[in-house]
């Protein structure tokens, strides 16, 4: 069984976007609401996007942003994003934990369906990395799934381990143990502490958060 997250997404890149076409009106409605929130929050911004994948959310942000640097660890997912009719997008291979390697100056940030894949012990490191790459007053948008017992593979919790996982099979029959953490409103409040103009949306299937990095550049 593989626990390599990057490899899991590499293997399923061609069929990844089926998650956005589930025949479920409530989900589709929430995703459209999320897209509207992305568009209104990041309009006019120079956006750093991490774990952009196949570019589903890049498309929404690109329709309003001044520029986007869309990054992902996998060439295979970005190759699909690059086939989309996107202007103003610069694609870069980058590890979400090494954002200092990404060239550019940013006043916007986007990460959809990524935070669930960050282990609890690296969460602070990731958020500090984001903070350090953004100009004062930058706007951040992050979104992810709420826990659903009926979707996303068998749920796995291990004694003494703060992270949770889903067991998923790829199309070749290989089983993957995918790191997948879920956030409560209280946890999201905690991780946005010290930020400005915080908005936390807890939907039924999805959550999203919007906040601004304070205008005075305090150290993280
Ligand atoms: C759930 S997908 C999200 C894709 C896209 N943001 C979306 O919402 O449709 C997670 C993405 O994280 C990428 N990824 C995995 N490990 C990564 C890492 N260490 N740094 C950056 N991206 C990573 C995968 O290649 C995959 O594209």
Rounded to the nearest whole angstrom, what is the distance from the C-alpha of residue 54 to the centroid of ligand 1?
A: 9
Q: What is the pLDDT of residues 131-170, one digit of tens each?
A: 999 999 999 999 999 999 998 899 999 999 999 999 998 8
| Cα–Cα distance, 84 to 134 (Å, whole number) | 27
| Partners of 47 in the β-ladder | 68, 108
| Cα–Cα distance, 84 to 19 (Å, whole number) | 18
Tell which atom from ligand 1 comes closest to the C-alpha of 20: 9
Most informative mutation of 17, 51, 79, 86 for ligand 1 (most atoms within 8 A of CB)? 51
Band of the pLDDT at 1, cuts 50, 70, 90? confident
Domain boundaries, the chain: 5-212
Give the H/E segment covering residue 176.
Answer: strand 175-179
Specify the pLDDT at position 217. Answer: 60
Q: Considering the domain 5-212 in this protein, what is its CATH number? A: 3.40.50.150
pLDDT at 219 over 70: no
């Amino acid at each position: 069984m593989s626990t390599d997250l990057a490899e899991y997404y590499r293997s399923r890149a061609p069929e990844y976007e089926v998650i956005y076409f589930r025949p479920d009106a409530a989900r589709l409605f929430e995703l459209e609401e999320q897209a509207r929130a992305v568009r209104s929050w990041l309009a006019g911004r120079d956006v750093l996007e991490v774990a952009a994948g196949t570019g589903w959310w890049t498309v929404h942000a690109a329709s309003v942003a001044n520029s986007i640097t869309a990054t992902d660890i996998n060439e295979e997912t970005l190759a699909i994003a690059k086939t989309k009719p996107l202007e103003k997008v610069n694609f870069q291979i980058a590890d979400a934990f090494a954002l200092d390697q990404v060239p550019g100056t940013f006043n916007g940030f986007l990460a959809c369906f990524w935070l669930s894949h960050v282990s609890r012990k690296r969460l602070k490191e990731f958020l500090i990395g984001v903070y350090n790459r953004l100009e004062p007053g930058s706007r951040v948008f992050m979104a992810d799934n709420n826990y659903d017992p009926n979707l996303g593979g068998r749920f796995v919790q291990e004694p003494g381990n703060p992270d949770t996982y889903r067991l998923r099979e790829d199309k070749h029959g290989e089983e993957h143990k995918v790191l997948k953490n879920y956030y409560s409103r209280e946890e999201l409040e905690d991780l946005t502490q010290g930020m400005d103009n915080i908005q936390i949306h807890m939907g039924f299937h999805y959550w999203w958060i919007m906040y601004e990095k304070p205008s005075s550049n305090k150290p993280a």
